[in-house]
Structure 1
Amino acid sequence: MLIVYILEVIYLNTSIKNAEMKNKDRFLGFADVYDQVRPGMPEYPIEIITKYLNKKADVVVDLGCGSGLSTIAWKNHCNAVIGIEPSDDMFLAANQKADHTISFKKSFAHETGLSSDCADAVICSQSFHWMDPELTLAEVNRILKTGGVFAAVDYDWPPVCKWEAEAAHKQLFYKVSCLEEEHGDLKESFIRWDKNKHLSNIINSGYFRYQREIVFANRELCDAKRFIGMALSQSGLQSIIQHKPHLIKNALDEYTETIQCLFAGETMEADFCYRMRLGIK
C-alpha cells in the first residue's frame, strides 16, 4: 500500500509539473502584443475589494499577472502590490513596470514563496483558469490574512462593439477550437480549467466564510488595430501561429480584412463584460 501511495504522489507531482510548464510556455513570444491591447484592471473591482476590506489594502498579490497590466492598476490603491508570473516573456514585460510600491516575482501561483498571512487581497485577473484551483486556493489561503479578499476577475470575449466584428471574432476562435481538437499536439499543449467553476471552487475549498459573483462592464476605446490585436493576444491563436501557421493563415487573413473594413479607420467605444468571483477569508 505504501508503494502504491508513493507512486500516486509521484504521478500527481509529475502531472502538476507538466501542467505548469505547458501553461507557462503557452505565453511565450507575444508579450508585446498582449501588453499593448489587453484591458487593464478596471477601477470597479478595486473599489469593491477595498469596500469589503473596509480599509486601504496594505499588500495586494496579483497571481498570474501577465505583463503587469492588472498589477499597476493597484498603484495608489494599496501600499504595495506584488505581481506573480511564471512565464519568462511576460515577467520581463511586467518587471519593466516595477517601482517603489510595485514589484514582480517569477514564480507559480501555487508556490509563490511569499510569507504566510502577508496579503490583504489576492487577485487573479484573467488567469485563474490557467492554474490548478485546489493547489492555488491552498496557497491563497496561506498568504491571505484573515478577513482578506480573494478575487478572480475575468472578462468575456469579444468586447461589445459592432455585432459583425463580434461574430467574426467568434468565427475565428471556433476555427481555433476545431484545430485544437483535430491536432493532438495542439490539444495536449495546455491545460485549462473551466471559468464557470471558479465560484464553486472558491466555495468548495472551505477557506472562505463569504463568497459571491459580481457582474459588471467597463468601457474602453477600440479601433481595428486593437480589435485585431486582442485576437492575436490570445494564447490559443498564438500557439497555432507559432507552430502550425498554415492551418490558420487564410482564416486570420479573412478576419483581419473583415475587421479593418468594419471599423473603417474609426475608433469607437467597446464594453468589456466582466465576472468577478470572490471570497472573504
Structure 2
Amino acid sequence: MDIRINADRFNGFAETYKSARPAMPFYPVKTIIRYLGNTPDRIVDLGCGTGLSTVVWSDYCSQIIGVEPSTDMITVAKRKANNKISFINAFSHDTGIESDSSDVVICSQSFHWMEPIATLTEVNRILKAGGVFATVDCDWPPVSIWQADQAYDILYKKVRELEEKLPDVKDTFIRYNKEEHLSNIKNSCYFRYAREIVFSNTELCTSERFINIIISQGSLQAIITKYPELLLDDIVAFKNKIIRLFQDEMFEIDFSYRMRLAVK
C-alpha cells in the first residue's frame, strides 16, 4: 500500500484542523523535560500537522524541527517558522535528520498514522542516548456537557460505521491501534524505561469550535469527500443541536490525554 495514503487523508481541511484542534498542553513539556533531566537542545515533532504541537516548545529548547508528510498541513505549519522553528516535508520513518542529534522526539496525535516498527527505528536513530520519546493522544470527544458529548458520539459512531462499510473509504488509510503504542515502544527494545501517563487540560470553546472538532476528524472528511449525501443530514442535526446547547456562549472543555513516555 502507498505510504502516502495517510498523509493524503488530511489534504483539504488544514485550516479547519488548525482552528479546532487543541494546542499541545504544557504538562507534556514539563514532564518530558523532567525525564530528560535538562533543557533540551533539539526537539523533533513527528507528524506535526499544522504546527500546533510544535510552537509550544519555543521557550523550552534551542531548536524545533516539525516533520510532516501532508503538503496541506505543512503549508500551514510553515507560517509559524522562525529562527528557532523549522519544518520539513518528510515521513516519520525517513526524516533525513542527522543521527544522534535530538534530545526529544514527540508525536502529538499522530503516532497512530505511522507504521510503528519503521518509525521507532528512525526515532532511535535520531535520538541521543538518554533522550526522550513521547506520544501524546487526545481522547474524543472533549468533556463539555453530556448532551453535547452524546451528540458527538452519535455522529462519530455513524462515521465509523460508514468508514468500515465503504471499501473505497476503508482502503484509503491505515490506522494503527493507539492501545498498542506502549507495547510497541517497549517491544522495540530501544528504551530503558517506558510508561503511560494520563492527564487533562482545560481550554475555552465556542459552538463553532466544538462543531469543527468533529469536522476536523479525518474519518468524517474521508466520507464527505466521496459521499457527502450519507452524512449531510447528520452533520446538520449535530450543528443545530450544538448551537442550541451553547448558542453564543464561551465555555470550558476538558481535553483528556494519554501520553506514552520512553527514555532511550
| Aligned twin of 1:220 | 203
AA matched with 1:75: S
1:89 aligns with 2:72: yes
Show the counterpart of 2:97: 114
After superposition, residues 117-156 of structure 1 pair within 5 angstroms as 117-156=100-139
CA distance in 1, matches of 2:164, 2:19: 30
Alignment-derived partner of residue 243 in structure 1: 226
How big is the shift at 1:121? 0.2
Runs of 4+ in 1 over 6 A off after TM superposition: none
Q: Residue 83 of structure 2 corresponds to which residue in structure 1? A: 100
The residue number in structure 2 matching 1:171 is 154
TM-score (norm 1): 0.93
Question: Which has the larger share of helix?
Answer: 1
Give per-residue Cα distances to partners, 1:108-164, cap 9 Å, x unaligned.
001000000010000000000000000000000000000000000001001111111
How far 1:264 sits from its partner (Å)? Answer: 2.1
Number of corresponding residues: 264
What is the identity, as a one-letter code, of the residue corresponding to 1:224? Answer: S
Does 1:77 pair with 2:60? Answer: yes
Shift of 1:54: 1.1
**Counterpart of 1:10?**
none
For 1:128 and 1:197, the matched residues in 2 are separated by 11
Letter in 2 for 1:272: F
- 1:13-56 Cα offsets, whole Å, 9 max, x none, are xx4xx1x2110110000000111111111000000011111111
Amino acid at match of 2:92: A
CA distance in 1, matches of 2:35, 2:165: 46
Question: Which TM-score applies when normalising by structure 2?
Answer: 0.99
Unaligned runs of 5+ in 2: none
Q: Which residues of structure 1 form unaligned runs of 5+?
A: 1-14
Secondary structure of residue in 1 paired with 2:53: helix
Q: What is the CA–CA distance in structure 1 between the aligned matches of 2:165 and 2:238, rounded to whole Å?
A: 21
Measured in 2, the distance between the counterparts of 1:33 and 1:164 equals 23
Cα RMSD after superposing both structures: 0.6
**Which of the two has higher C-alpha Rg?**
1
SS in 2 for 1:57: coil
Q: Equivalent of 1:39, from 11, 18, 22?
A: 22
Match of 2:215 among 227, 232, 240: 232
Match of 1:11 in 2: none
Q: Give, in whole Å, the separation in 2 of the partners of 1:122 and 1:68.
A: 14
Distance in 2 separating the partners of 1:181 and 1:273:
26
**1-side partners of 2:10 and 2:79: how far apart?**
17
Deviation at 1:72, TM superposition (A): 0.5
Amino acid corresponding to residue 67 of structure 1 in structure 2: T
Work out the percentage of aligned pairs sharing the same amino acid.
53
Out of 149, 168, 173, the position equivalent to 1:190 is 173
Do structure 1's residue 158 and structure 2's residue 153 form an aligned pair? no
